Structure 1
Amino acid sequence: MRIVVAGCGRVGSVLAAQLVRENHDIRVIDRDRTAGRRLPPGFPGRFHVGNGFSRSVLEEAGIGHSDALVAVTSGDYSNLVVARTAKETFRVPIVLARVHEPRHAGLYDGFGIPTVCDVTWSVNRIHQMLLHRHLVPDITFGNGETLLVRSTLPGYLAGRKLTEFEVDGEIRVVEVTRDGRSHIPHLVTTAAPQDVVTFAVAARALRRLRGFLDKELGT
């Protein structure tokens, strides 16, 4: 993929370095010429000096033929302008942005631009590690509001329908692995000893899910 990274701070530089290791065509933009020093020696991508919201700078970076743009500058409004320009003017297929202030996320939502919020993600992750350490997520979505969590069911739940663990809008059973084989459960599927179940769960409902499992986890 050709990916334009607007912002070469700590996040942008590390992201760019990781992507080039995966053989992506990376173009990095930053208005500070010295920011390029954060990139690894021999960086095979391109570094462009200028404002990411400048159309001419974006064009120089090859935005017109890019598969994605990631806006990770130090300013929320700058990221919004860069992301909107990429999405609306250059029709870039994938546009993502970093948000520093959680209250600004709604601005991006209105333009259909997915965001990652440092504060919200960190709070959700720390909360989970403190209070729900047995429920380690395989995947998180958005800023951590929704997670996929896998857990071995305690023996005392054997024989109960898996749908009994579901809560509308909060918890869904999406997969069960039994004897090494994975399948999507039916409405009448019952739990068996040593089942490993994948739950889609809202972060706010982790405590409720944990309540199903705590008896044998001993917490």
Structure 2
Amino acid sequence: MRALIAGAGRLGTQIAQVLAAARNDVTLLDIDEDHIAKLEGHLPVRLLAGDACEPTFLEHAGALTADLVIAATGNDEDNLVISLLAKRQFTVPRVAARVNDAENAWLFDQNWGVDTAVPAATPLISLIEEATGATDTVALLRLSKAGVDVIETAITPQSRAASCTLAEIPLPAGAVIATVIRDGQPTVPAPEMRLQPGDELLVVSHAATEQEIHTAFQ
């Protein structure tokens, strides 16, 4: 699947990381050139700086061949414009948009090209399930024909993995840590990295269950 994500904030980067880990072709866009530059080397996706509300930039980013567009900026007006362009001008099959202000939710419908409107408070996994139409999962995200699962877990002060390095955590067979999200930024998971309360991890698994992954960290 070819996915185009507009908005490289915390939500956009998390979605990009999950979709990329599940072997999708992902392009992440943001209007802030400096922010995009900081993400270089930290995400296994194509990164582009520019205004996703501009048709020429969306076309350059690959909207003509995208299977999915997710408008995940922090501005509802921008998300509506991006959705409308994606659906009407580029005929993208599936368009999802983040609703930042609940009072604007009524606008996010087919008239603006939105197939799926997602409230800002929606959990990451649920958001991606709704956006991609992968409704056959609850806590696990199954987006790959190869059977790759992406499991999300968070470190709390009570977690057994708190203060441990990644190398010290015995992961189940077939599980790999795709990224550690700290302070809203995805981080390359080096073995010597020490986990802290508040860290969020995305674990890619070919065989381990959700319970086995959570047991390793919690």
Shorter-normalised TM-score: what interval?
Answer: 0.5 to 0.7
> Which sections of structure 1, spanning at least 5 residues, go unmatched?
123-136, 143-147, 150-219
CA–CA separation in structure 2 for the residues paired with 1:39 and 1:141: 26
> Which sections of structure 2, spanning at least 5 residues, go unmatched?
132-136, 139-218
CA-based RMSD: 2.6
2:11 alignment counterpart: 11
| C-alpha spacing 1:42/1:103, structure 2 compared with 1 (3 Å) | closer
Q: Does the 8 Å contact 1:8/1:38 carry over to 2?
A: no
CA drift of 1:39 comes to 3.9
1:77 alignment counterpart: 77
Q: Which has the higher contact order (CA 8 A, sep 6+)?
A: 2
Scaled by the length of structure 1, the TM-score of the pair is 0.52
Q: Per residue, is there more helix in 1 or in 2?
A: 1
Task: Encode CA deviations 1:83-102: one digit per residue, 9 max, x unaligned.
Answer: 11001110000000001111
Code of the residue aligned with 1:99 in structure 2: it is: V
Whether 2:119 is the aligned partner of 1:117: answer yes
CA drift of 1:48 comes to 1.1
CA–CA separation in structure 2 for the residues paired with 1:94 and 1:141: 10
% identical aligned pairs: 33
CA–CA separation in structure 1 for the residues paired with 2:98 and 2:20: 20
1:60 alignment counterpart: 60
The SS at the match of 1:70 is: strand
| Structure number with larger C-alpha Rg | 1
Which is worse superposed, 13-22 or 103-112?
103-112
Q: Does the 8 Å contact 1:36/1:47 carry over to 2?
A: yes
Q: Does the 8 Å contact 1:9/1:38 carry over to 2?
A: no
The SS at the match of 2:108 is: helix
Pairing of 1:183-198 with structure 2 (within 5 A): none
CA–CA separation in structure 1 for the residues paired with 2:69 and 2:13: 14
Code of the residue aligned with 2:4 in structure 1: it is: V
2:27 alignment counterpart: 27
1:51 alignment counterpart: 51
CA drift of 1:40 comes to 7.2
| C-alpha spacing 1:24/1:87, structure 2 compared with 1 (3 Å) | same
2:94 alignment counterpart: 94
CA–CA separation in structure 1 for the residues paired with 2:84 and 2:3: 16
| C-alpha spacing 1:88/1:21, structure 2 compared with 1 (3 Å) | same
Q: Does the 8 Å contact 2:40/2:47 carry over to 1?
A: no
CA drift of 1:67 comes to 0.3
| C-alpha spacing 1:82/1:66, structure 2 compared with 1 (3 Å) | same
Q: Does the 8 Å contact 1:14/1:39 carry over to 2?
A: no
CA drift of 1:45 comes to 2.0
Q: Does the 8 Å contact 1:13/1:38 carry over to 2?
A: no
* Number of equivalences: 127
